[in-house]
């Protein structure tokens, strides 16, 4: 490895690492939906670097070596400072205000611009290398991709040891080291070393906890006078914080006829969002009895209970007090699992397993009397969870859980009642559809009841006996709850109208779609292909939403969904300003080469569509989004690097044809068989799963990685002046790809998003044939 290649490698590690760290930072301070924006901003940096080199070709000729030696250090400094800058009052934006204040939207744009600069600077270095060493682009591209692959893995390792604020800045130091490798004089090396040491000091003095929105639950909790953070930990899933206070309590499902004491809780937060409650002391027994969640225990003697990611110790304490013989808690977040394992009010009947619930279900063989699912949907509505993949709440997941029940066993679900009903009806719809998939009549196997704000839904392995239904009616009556399935005789907790009960009745009918077609919200049961439980908006119903909420209110109906659209709008605006317009100006002096533009546009959009849909789809196989991102990003980039390297040994047009036909062949196998393959490998040990995934994706990534450098080689031979433009076009469409991929996945499912990406690669085929003809003409 020579110094230049080493520098490209390190800079690429820094760029991808910084990008992923920024996603973590924004997820903490704002909400994770802006992750798409971070990806797009990174792509914008790459696209506009190409444009700058196209508009000012002198940069690539006259000043290239000067810039190459200085820009990595500048990149490092920008990476070190931008996380601090975006938290400064006056610059920092707030998600919840973006939809209502133009000023706030301007601050969002400013934040994007600040984050864009390190990517622009870093990408400029890569672009300049591509220009001055255009004869060895495949090799350079290979080092670039290999570095990116390493960066994807490194962030997972570092996130355990560094705080969310330091994580982003630390990659700046790596970029400075990349600059050190390129420094020619000892004077320059000394200067860079000084800058690096100053950067280390900055890391040391940087606040460990970055800025967070004042509207995040943690911010509001810390306003309570005696609240304080008692424990903080960095985890791959985000920042964990434990808050203690003399005023925090949690008691969902509590009967209004309970007048006793409600115990205080310590609250666990993940990325400043409330995650789990830990009771500080036990309440009196009545507290655990006079609660919706106690009903399942009326049906058993000494049940064995599986609790999937319970959001409160209350549920486990309750299960223990009401006679459970054995309780196993499945908790994915390590600090929470550790705390649960050491929780003083649990006895030897309780055991804790650190695992993702869906992953656990897939590999579980044992039968249980009750499997308790976590409360689904955010409190009071879909809101910000709109685009969160909930693989635990899909028909496939419920079917699997059903098969883990003893003959008298129960699946237990809950959600908050909302108005207009969305979460509550979606949960009933999901359980009913799963029952139908199992060949069961929902009305015979389901039971549901509610209080004023919580809904409890049960699915039994065998038919609910009449005596059990009578028990349910009596339990409801005693505690002031209302039955939902079967329908109530009289409502104690009145709804504004009969919509909820009417639709709940429809859901458990043989033909559930009959009554819900006119309902303005989507109640389609989520599946593994589209696991978005809290996605309720229907494209065709916007008029209804507008008349109900008004134009300024609609975004708040399902904020997460609108954030992605805002991200797309912001990305488009930035891409037009930073890439399209300057490029059009530069093209005025060059020949307009539509096929070349089309080819690189397809590659830009196609690669990201395939990559993002694979990340989302693989969450199910490897158990969690972090692992999925690491496996897919690293595999895609690593094997694309190999493809890029191999492409230097084959003829351009033959290589292009081979790659496109290979991609067509592989995707035609992967699309129809993907689900089956996933379900087959999901039961294997984790290492086997990862290796199988890598083997499955590697050939596709390898072929995809060949097309970009082959295209560049073609331009190097036949249209050198188009190289920066191609880089820019590719960047422009890569910028839009992240939000586009998400919107496609949410609206049509992962399979369609993946197929669209593959189709874009195939759309390059006529262009390649055209290039072939043109090349023959020129050489002939």
Residues binding other proteins (CB under 8 A): 89-90, 94, 96-97, 100-101, 103-104, 214-215, 219-220, 223-225, 246-247, 249-252, 254, 256-262, 378-381, 383-384, 416-420, 452-453, 480, 492-496, 549, 552-553, 556-557, 559
Tell me how far, at minimum, the Cβ of 517 lies from other proteins, in Å. 22
Which of 29/711 has CB closer to other proteins?
Answer: 29
- Exposed e or buried b for every residue in 91-117, given b needs 16+ CB within 10 A? ebbbbbebbeeeebbebbebbbbbbbb
d(CA 689, CA 683): 8
Neighbours of 212 (CB within 10 A): 20
- Exposed e or buried b for every residue in 52-88, given b needs 16+ CB within 10 A? bbbbebebbeeebeebbbbbbbbbbbbbbbbbbebbe
d(CA 686, CA 245): 39
Tell me how far, at minimum, the Cβ of 261 lies from other proteins, in Å. 8
Tell me how far, at minimum, the Cβ of 442 lies from other proteins, in Å. 25
* Backbone φ, ψ for residue 751 (5° rounding): -60, -45
Which of 256/665 has CB closer to other proteins?
Answer: 256
Three-state secondary-structure class, residue 555? helix
Which of 215/748 has CB closer to other proteins?
Answer: 215
* Contacts of residue 197, Cβ cutoff 8 Å, sequence gap at least 6: none
Check if the beta carbon of residue 508 is closer than 8 Å to that of residue 447. Answer: no
The β-bridge partners of 312 are: 277
CA triplet 691, 692, 693: central angle to 5 degrees? 90
Check if the beta carbon of residue 243 is closer than 8 Å to that of residue 228. Answer: yes
Tell me how far, at minimum, the Cβ of 246 lies from other proteins, in Å. 7
Tell me how far, at minimum, the Cβ of 772 lies from other proteins, in Å. 55
If we measure between CA atoms, which residue out of 75, 10, 70 comes closest to residue 42? 75
d(CA 292, CA 73): 60
If we measure between CA atoms, which residue out of 188, 187, 170, 171 comes closest to residue 179? 188
**DSSP characters for 252-320?**
TTB-TT--SPPPBEEEEEETTEEEEEEESS---HHHHHSBGGGGGGGG-SS-EEEEES-SBHHHHHHHH
95: its two tokens: 């998600």
* Contacts of residue 50, Cβ cutoff 8 Å, sequence gap at least 6: 123, 127, 579, 724, 725, 726, 727, 728, 730, 731
The sign of the dihedral angle between the CA atoms of 355, 738, 382, 433 is negative
Which of 521/597 has CB closer to other proteins?
Answer: 521
If we measure between CA atoms, which residue out of 76, 181, 65 comes closest to residue 119? 76
Tell me how far, at minimum, the Cβ of 249 lies from other proteins, in Å. 7
Tell me how far, at minimum, the Cβ of 319 lies from other proteins, in Å. 19
d(CA 444, CA 485): 9
Which of 31/714 has CB closer to other proteins?
Answer: 31
CA triplet 240, 623, 236: central angle to 5 degrees? 30
Any idea what DSSP says for residue 375? P
d(CA 310, CA 375): 8
- Start-to-end CA distance of the chain, whole Å, equals 39
Residue with tokens 């307009």: 592
d(CA 63, CA 67): 6
Residue with tokens 């499902």: 253
653: its two tokens: 């047009």
Tell me how far, at minimum, the Cβ of 138 lies from other proteins, in Å. 50
Which of 101/688 has CB closer to other proteins?
Answer: 101
Tell me how far, at minimum, the Cβ of 417 lies from other proteins, in Å. 8
d(CA 290, CA 259): 10
The β-bridge partners of 326 are: 304
* Contacts of residue 494, Cβ cutoff 8 Å, sequence gap at least 6: none
Residue with tokens 């422009």: 732
Which of 215/475 has CB closer to other proteins?
Answer: 215
Tell me how far, at minimum, the Cβ of 229 lies from other proteins, in Å. 17
Residue with tokens 């195939």: 762
Neighbours of 443 (CB within 10 A): 18
Check if the beta carbon of residue 354 is closer than 8 Å to that of residue 332. Answer: yes
d(CA 22, CA 312): 30
**DSSP characters for 232-253?**
EEEETTEEEEEEE-SS-B--TT
d(CA 478, CA 481): 8
Q: Is the peptide bond before 486 cis (omega within 30 degrees of 0)?
A: yes
């Amino acid at each position: 490895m020579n110094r230049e290649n080493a520098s490209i490698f390190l800079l690429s590690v820094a760029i991808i690492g910084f990008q992923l760290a920024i996603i973590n930072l924004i997820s903490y301070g704002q909400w994770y939906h802006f992750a798409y924006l971070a990806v797009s901003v990174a792509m914008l940096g790459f696209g506009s670097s190409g444009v700058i080199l196209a508009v000012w070709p002198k940069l690539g000729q006259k000043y290239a070596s000067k810039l190459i030696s200085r820009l990595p250090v500048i990149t490092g400094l920008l990476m070190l400072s931008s996380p601090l800058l975006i938290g400064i009052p006056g610059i920092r934006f707030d998600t919840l205000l973006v939809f209502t204040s133009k000023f706030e939207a301007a601050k969002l744009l400013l934040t994007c611009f600040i984050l864009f600069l390190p990517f622009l600077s870093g990408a400029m270095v890569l672009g300049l290398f591509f220009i001055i060493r255009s004869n060895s682009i495949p090799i350079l591209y290979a080092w670039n991709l290999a570095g990116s692959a390493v960066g994807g893995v490194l962030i997972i390792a570092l996130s355990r040891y560094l705080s969310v604020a330091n994580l982003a800045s630390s990659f700046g130091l790596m970029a400075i080291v990349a600059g050190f490798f390129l420094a020619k004089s000892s004077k320059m090396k000394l200067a860079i070393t000084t800058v690096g040491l100053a950067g280390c000091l900055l890391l040391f003095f940087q606040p460990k906890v970055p800025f967070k929105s004042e509207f995040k639950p943690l911010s509001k909790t810390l306003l309570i006078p005696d609240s304080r953070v008692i424990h903080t930990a960095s985890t791959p899933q985000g920042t964990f914080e434990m808050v203690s206070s003399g005023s925090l309590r949690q008691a969902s499902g509590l009967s209004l006829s309970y007048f006793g004491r409600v115990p205080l809780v310590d609250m666990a937060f993940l990325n400043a969002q409330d995650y789990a409650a830990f009771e500080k002391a036990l309440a009196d027994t009545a507290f655990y009895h006079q609660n919706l969640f106690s009903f399942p225990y009326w049906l058993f003697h000494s049940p064995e209970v599986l609790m999937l990611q319970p959001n409160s110790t209350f549920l486990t304490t309750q299960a223990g007090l009401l006679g459970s013989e054995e309780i196993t808690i499945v908790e994915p977040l390590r600090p929470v699992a550790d705390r649960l394992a050491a929780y003083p009010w649990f006895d030897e009947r309780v055991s804790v397993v650190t695992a993702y619930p869906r992953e656990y279900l897939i590999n579980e063989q044992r039968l249980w009397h009750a499997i308790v699912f976590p409360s689904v949907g955010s409190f009071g509505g879909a809101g910000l969870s709109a685009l969160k993949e909930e693989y635990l709440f899909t028909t496939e997941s419920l079917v699997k859980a059903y098969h883990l029940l003893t003959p008298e066993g129960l699946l237990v679900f809950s959600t908050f009642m909302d108005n207009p009903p969305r979460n509550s009806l979606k949960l009933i719809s999901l359980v009913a559809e799963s029952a139908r998939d199992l060949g069961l009549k929902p009305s015979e196997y389901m039971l549901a009841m509610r209080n004023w704000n919580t809904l409890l839904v049960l699915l039994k392995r065998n038919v609910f006996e009449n005596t059990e239904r009578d028990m349910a009616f009596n339990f409801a009556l005693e505690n002031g709850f209302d039955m939902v399935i079967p329908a109530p005789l009289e409502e104690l907790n009145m709804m504004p109208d009969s919509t909820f009960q009417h639709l709940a009745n429809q859901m458990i009918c043989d033909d559930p779609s009959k009554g819900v077609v006119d309902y303005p919200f989507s109640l389609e049961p989520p599946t593994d292909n589209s696991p978005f439980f809290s996605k309720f908006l229907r494209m065709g119903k916007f008029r209804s939403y507008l008349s109900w909420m008004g134009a300024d209110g609609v975004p708040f109906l399902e904020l997460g969904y609108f954030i992605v659209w805002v991200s797309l709008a912001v990305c488009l605006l930035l891409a037009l300003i930073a890439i399209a317009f300057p490029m059009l100006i530069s093209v005025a002096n060059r020949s307009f080469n539509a096929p070349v533009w089309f080819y690189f546009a397809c590659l830009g959009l196609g690669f990201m569509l395939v990559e993002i849909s694979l990340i989302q789809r693989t969450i199910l196989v490897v158990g969690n989004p972090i692992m999925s991102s690491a496996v897919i990003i690293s595999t895609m980039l690593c094997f694309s690097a190999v493809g890029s390297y191999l492409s230097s040994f084959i003829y351009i047009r033959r290589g292009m044809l081979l790659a496109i036909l290979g991609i067509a062949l592989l995707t035609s196998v992967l699309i129809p068989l993907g689900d089956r393959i996933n379900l087959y490998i999901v039961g294997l040990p984790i290492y086997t799963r990862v290796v199988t995934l890598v083997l499955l994706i590697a050939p596709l990534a390898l072929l995809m990685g060949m097309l970009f450098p082959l295209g560049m080689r073609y331009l190097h031979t036949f249209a050198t002046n188009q190289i920066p433009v191609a880089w820019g076009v590719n960047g422009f469409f890569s910028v839009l790809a992240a939000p586009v991929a998400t919107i496609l996945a949410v609206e049509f499912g992962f399979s369609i998003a993946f197929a669209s990406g593959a189709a874009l690669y195939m759309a390059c085929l006529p262009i390649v044939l055209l290039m072939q003809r043109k090349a023959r003409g020129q050489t002939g």
